[in-house]
A and B are shown apart, each in its own frame.
Chain A
Amino acid sequence: MGHFITSKDIPADGEHLKKGALSKWINICGLVALVGIIASVWLLFSGNEAANTASDTVAGRYAYSWLFAFAFFISFSLGGAFWLLLHHVSNSGWGISVRRLMENLASVFPWMGIIAIPFLFPQVQQHLFEWMNRHREVLGSVTSYANAKEILHHSYGQFDHMLYAKAFYMNLPFWLGRMIGYFVLLGGAIYILKKISLAQDTDPEPGVERLKKSRKLCAAFLPIFALTATFLAFDLLKALDFKWFSTMYGVYFFAGCALNGMALLILTSILLRRAGYLQTVMSPEHHHIMGKLTFAFVVFWAYVTFSQFFLIWYANITEETSYFLLRNTGNWNIANIALVFGHFALPFLFLIRQDVKKNPALMIPITIYLFILHALDHYIIVAPERGPSLTVGSEAGASLLPSGSVVWLDILAFVTVGAFFIFVYLRTFTKNSLYPCRDPRILESANLFN
């Protein structure tokens, strides 16, 4: 416990990073991202051949790499948005000291829309989303969507009736609208929350109005987040195999978001404290709470992931098993079993002790370990779909381990999107105070004891 922190200990203008403290990293990441994006655009939009064998082209393989990197990095910012919204809506006091970090992480989300732009182009979509290919094929001969739906209805194509039944949701205009809606609505929500929070920092007479306003707004924003996280996962990841069913998929994606969002918040706060910031407002107690939430979501992730597998495995229905048949074959099965122990059992044992959660020297490797396993998790979601499927030839899928050239494409996409993510994330730290210094409850949070 020791010294009780009072308002005298907290500077009126908060703590700011030293000017140029991050500029070296921002410049490096910005440069890497710029070069990577130029190379990626060239890879994605050159060398396309006819649609049916397209997945074997470099562009086809790279589309999957890009999707993997995008899904991995957007999950951090979605996690940040979740913790920010939850913190406001539950009227929490403990995390005021780290709320600005949540806001910074969440505010990366709208920028990730730039990475999603390639998914809007048919040249990229044709490799990823087979249902779009069939829709375009049918639309080619008719003028309106209603007519296209009728053609699907009366077609004898193997999966056309499923496309007809799902047409209310899986159609091109609605898909495009949703993609834009996710980034505009949730991005707008995050922007509004951050703006309210920043206005408090300079208000000479700060009161509780902004807290109350944020709480009310968040009650409305939380459903937007839930829909965005769920249907973003449906539209980009689950739709890789449109004939597959799983009601657990949205919450499965969300569990990874919340877990790794919190892990990244822990890592960020530890690095800031190591650099000499956040000394008065944060204590090991904050790391204890954040570690507990990480621990909880390690268990939640395992619970949800196993629930999805278990019901499908037990029921053994043809429409549902395809996902796990692919992923429990050959080398993918080894990776999947590694996930059981690496993503659940080991972190469970790491994080179960209180002194580990309060020890920054141990939490840095643990959070990085969680990121690596999260990357494996998302790789298993995306990469196997590069293999054999309904319309794409079997040659690419013949070897279950990704061939050498594919791994290099994955690494290029990962580094590019990662550099872009870090570039945007670090830039959010440069302008504002590192914590909401005039929040009415900053003292409550600084003197946290649990």
Chain B
Amino acid sequence: MNTKRVYGYLAEFKSASALYKAAEKVRDAGHKKWDCYSPYPIHGLDKAMGMKKSILPYLVFCGGTLGIITAFALAYTTQVVIYPTVVQAKPSNIFTTAAFFPIMFELTILFSGFTTLFGLLALMGLPRLNHPLFESRQFARTTDDGFFIAIEARDPQFSSEETKTLLEDVGGSNIELVEEPAS
């Protein structure tokens, strides 16, 4: 027997500015688990949605620091501690560090880059194979000319009537209750 689980309400908006104004009102209504969908990035939408700053920069800083320490430890251990290598009468001690700078630079960049990419994917919950909103036929237009707001059922303030009324009040049309097949 096929049971279905409610994902949330989806509402369409006419334009980017309508979406922006609606986002401000949904934010002020105190919703937490909801998102805006648009074909292109809208300047300032994160503020209108009341989004907090991402913690990604801190992760990247830690990743970069880890990279520079790794590179220094790697180069220093191999070139100075385990197998002192004398090249062109250069010292084999702490003053060799200048020769390690390119490696320290490269690994800082590499680790920062990896932290950025994988931290971003982890924070966004990607990659994933499917999304409940794909159940909605009209949602395909978000990659073309559709502007949508979806308020999820797991939002503490979600209720089947009030959320629908809220989306109507902020100017949403084609309001749809999206359900996903329960697995």
Give A contacts to B, CB under 8 Å. Answer: 1, 306, 309-310, 313-314, 316, 352, 449
Q: How far is the CA of A1 from the CA of B90 in the complex (A)?
A: 56
Nearest B residue to A450 via CB reads B43
Q: Could you pull out 17 A-B pairs where Cβ atoms are within 8 angstroms?
A: A1-B44, A1-B47, A306-B98, A306-B101, A309-B98, A310-B98, A310-B101, A310-B102, A313-B98, A314-B88, A314-B90, A314-B99, A316-B88, A316-B89, A352-B61, A449-B43, A449-B44
Instruction: Report the separation of the CA atoms of residues A10 and B98 in the bound assembly, to the nearest whole angstrom.
Output: 53
Smallest Cβ distance from A279 to chain B, in angstroms? 22
Q: Which residue of B lies closest to A309 (CB)?
A: B98
Task: State the CA gap A314–B97 with chains docked (Å).
Answer: 12
Q: Could you say which residues of chain A place their CB within 8 Å of the CB of B43?
A: 449
**How many residues of chain B are within 8 Å of chain A by beta carbon?**
11
Q: Which residues of B contact A306 (CB under 8 A)?
A: 98, 101
Residues on A with C-beta less than 8 A from B98 are 306, 309-310, 313
Which residues of the other chain, B, contact A449 by a CB distance below 8 angstroms?
A: 43-44
B interface residue numbers (CB < 8 A to A): 43-44, 47, 61, 88-90, 98-99, 101-102
Chain B residue contacts of A316, Cβ below 8 A: 88-89
Contacts of A313 in B (CB 8 A): 98
**In the complex, A428→B41 CA distance in Å?**
42
B16 to chain A, nearest CB (A): 15
Q: Please classify the interface of chain A as helix (H, G, I), strand (E, B), loop, or mixed, using the class held by over half of its residues.
A: helix
- Beyond the given pairs A306-B98, A449-B43, 10 more chain A to chain B contacts, judged by CB atoms under 8 angstroms and listed by A's residue number, are A1-B47, A310-B101, A310-B102, A313-B98, A314-B88, A314-B90, A314-B99, A316-B88, A316-B89, A352-B61
Q: How far is the CA of A316 from the CA of B99 in the complex (A)?
A: 13
Residue of B nearest to A316 (CB): B88
- Taken together as a complex, chains A and B put the C-alpha atoms of A416 and B98 apart, in Å, by 38
A445 to B39 alpha-carbon distance, docked (Å): 27
When C-beta atoms are compared, the residue in chain B nearest to A328 turns out to be B95
Distance to closest chain A CB from B42 (angstroms)? 12
Chain B residue at minimal CB-CB distance from A313: B98
Please give, as numbers and ranges, the residues of chain A lying within 8 Å of B102 by CB-CB distance: 310
What's the Cα separation between A352 and B98 when bound, in Å? 24
Interfacial chain A residues near B47, Cβ < 8 Å: 1
Whole-angstrom CA separation of A449 from B43 in the bound complex = 9
Tell me, in angstroms, the Cα distance from A316 to B101 when the chains sit together. 17
Chain B: minimal CB distance from A93 (Å):
15
- The smallest beta-carbon distance between A378 and chain B, in angstroms, is 22
B41 CB to closest chain A CB, in angstroms?
13
Inside 8 A of A310's CB, which chain B residues have their CB?
98, 101-102
Q: State in angstroms the CA–CA spacing of A256 and B155 once bound together.
A: 53
Q: How far is the CA of A449 from the CA of B47 in the complex (A)?
A: 12
Complex alpha-carbon distance, A165 and B6, angstroms: 84
| A309→B89 CA distance, assembly (Å) | 17
The CA-CA distance from A110 to B101 in the complex, in Å, is: 40
> What A residues does B61 contact at CB under 8 A?
352
- A188 to B: closest C-beta gap in Å: 41
Nearest-neighbour CB distance to chain B for A200, whole angstroms, equals 29
> 5 tightest CB-CB pairs across the interface, nearest first?
A316-B88, A313-B98, A1-B44, A310-B98, A449-B43
